[in-house]
Amino acid sequence: MKVLERILVVFPHPDDEAFGTSGFLIKQIQMGSKVTYACATLGEMGRNMGNPFFANRETLPQIRKQELMDACKVIGISDVRLLGMRDKTLEFENRSELADVIESIVKEINPTIVITFYPGHGVHPDHDACGEATIEAISRIPMNERPTVYCKAITRNRVEVLGESDISIDVTDVLDKKIDSIRAHKSQTEGLISQIQDKMHQNHHEVMDWLLKETFYIYKW
Ligand SMILES: [Zn+2]
């Protein structure tokens, strides 16, 4: 794997970065890459309030913001941009306004690659809306100046529809840190971490594959 000097990650929720890309980002940052995470919402409509509850509807945004900062610290992301969209309404936001914000960040930092969700292959309307706005933003840049877009596809039918992924990164060597980044989103993942650890002890094939391999599709214009 070669180092990608400047990476921009655009996802809608705090924790999207930890689940799908933290291993890849940790490895890139260890090799000298600089990563910016543009996180569209604070996940303030999340249903999880911790177990036992330690958040309520009023405190959840602040708690999730702190968890996001903690996760980014584990991963090594130094530049976090909170875009301040409202969770669960991203699909209704003016798509081109979100694209404007993303376009300005792309122009400012001139990333080597941009990571987002593959439109139509997220598992939440916010994922797809965020992917679509990111593609729209980059499509405004002349073809020969566009950064490469690495898309996360997390639907069950992704291989059926899109074929095999273009990029597969083995993140075994940074698994402990990756799990720490997932753990940092405590209000959302506390119960999940023990389930993941149980599956790891059982060497559960699907879970180990999901944890150890991070895959991306390169967006084709
Ligand atoms: Zn999400």
* Spatial separation of the C-alpha atoms in residues 219 and 221, rounded to whole Å: 6
- Residue 58: predicted pLDDT: 79
**What domain range is 28 assigned to?**
6-218
Closest residue by Cα to residue 35 from 108, 109, 139: 109
Residue 64 identity: R
CA angle (203 as vertex; 202, 204 as ends), nearest 5: 85
Ligand 1 mean position to 219 CA, how many Å? 20
- Mean pLDDT along residues 190-208: 91
What's the chain's Rg over C-alpha atoms? 17
Neighbours of ion ligand 1 (CB under 5 A): 13, 16
- Residue 87: predicted pLDDT: 67
Ligand 1 mean position to 122 CA, how many Å? 8
CATH number for the domain including 28? 3.40.50.10320
- Residue 177: predicted pLDDT: 98
**Inside any domain, residue 1:** no
Ligand 1 mean position to 121 CA, how many Å? 12
Ligand 1 mean position to 79 CA, how many Å? 20
- Residue 84: predicted pLDDT: 86
Ligand 1 mean position to 15 CA, how many Å? 7
Classify each residue of 98-108 as buried b or exposed e, where b means 16 or more C-beta atoms within 10 Å of its C-beta: bbebbbebbee
- Residue 56: predicted pLDDT: 77
pLDDT at 43 over 90: no
Partners of 214 in the β-ladder = 169
Instruction: Say what percent of the chain tops pLDDT 90.
Output: 79
Ligand 1 mean position to 22 CA, how many Å? 14
- Residue 51: predicted pLDDT: 67
Q: Are 85 and 91 in contact (CB under 8 A)?
A: no
pLDDT at 166 over 80: yes
Ligand 1 mean position to 144 CA, how many Å? 31
Ligand 1 mean position to 26 CA, how many Å? 19
Give the count of domains, the chain: 1
Q: What is the pLDDT of residues 76-113, one digit of tens each?
A: 999 999 998 876 666 666 778 899 999 999 999 999 99
* Spatial separation of the C-alpha atoms in residues 148 and 113, rounded to whole Å: 5
* Spatial separation of the C-alpha atoms in residues 91 and 89, rounded to whole Å: 5
The packing angle between helices 205-212 and 186-201, to 10°, is: 120
pLDDT at 64 over 90: yes
Instruction: Say what percent of the chain tops pLDDT 70.
Output: 94
pLDDT at 189 over 70: yes
Ligand 1 mean position to 16 CA, how many Å? 5
